[in-house]
Amino acid sequence: MIDTTVDVINKLGLHARASGKLIEVTTKFRSTIQIGRGDHLIDAKNIMALLMLGAGIGTTLRLIVNGPDEELALAEVKALFAAKFYEAE
């Protein structure tokens, strides 16, 4: 199990389009992926739960990945956040 954090650095935060891109990444993996604030974690494979997080720019989110492909899943999720969800600035 990997328990780490990720920062929301894209201008619009975790809005609908960014959440959709995150779903594209998370659903590829067998590992469970949870994201949220502190102990309030949601399933990172659930679009509605992601949208309800209301994570704007500057938010630090807790990320827990657990399963057979957790290392690769973590790397891809972190890369997506680091690339600002491939949005034009």
Predicted confidence (pLDDT) per residue in 59-71, tens digit: 999 999 999 999 9
Lowest mean pLDDT, pick from 11-15, 22-26, 27-31: 11-15
DSSP 8-state symbol, 32: E
Catalytic residue among 2, 9, 15, 84: 15
**pTM for this prediction:** 0.94
Which residue has tokens 């992926």? 33
- Looking at residue 15, its pLDDT comes to 93
- DSSP secondary structure letters along 35-89: EEETTEEEETT-HHHHHHH---TT-EEEEEEESTTHHHHHHHHHHHHHTGGG---
Question: What are the structural domains, with CATH classification, of the chain?
Answer: 2-86 (3.30.1340.10)
Known catalytic residue at 15: yes
Q: 12, 23, 3, 9: which is closest to 76 by C-alpha?
A: 23
pLDDT band at 89 (very low <50, low <70, confident <90, very high): low
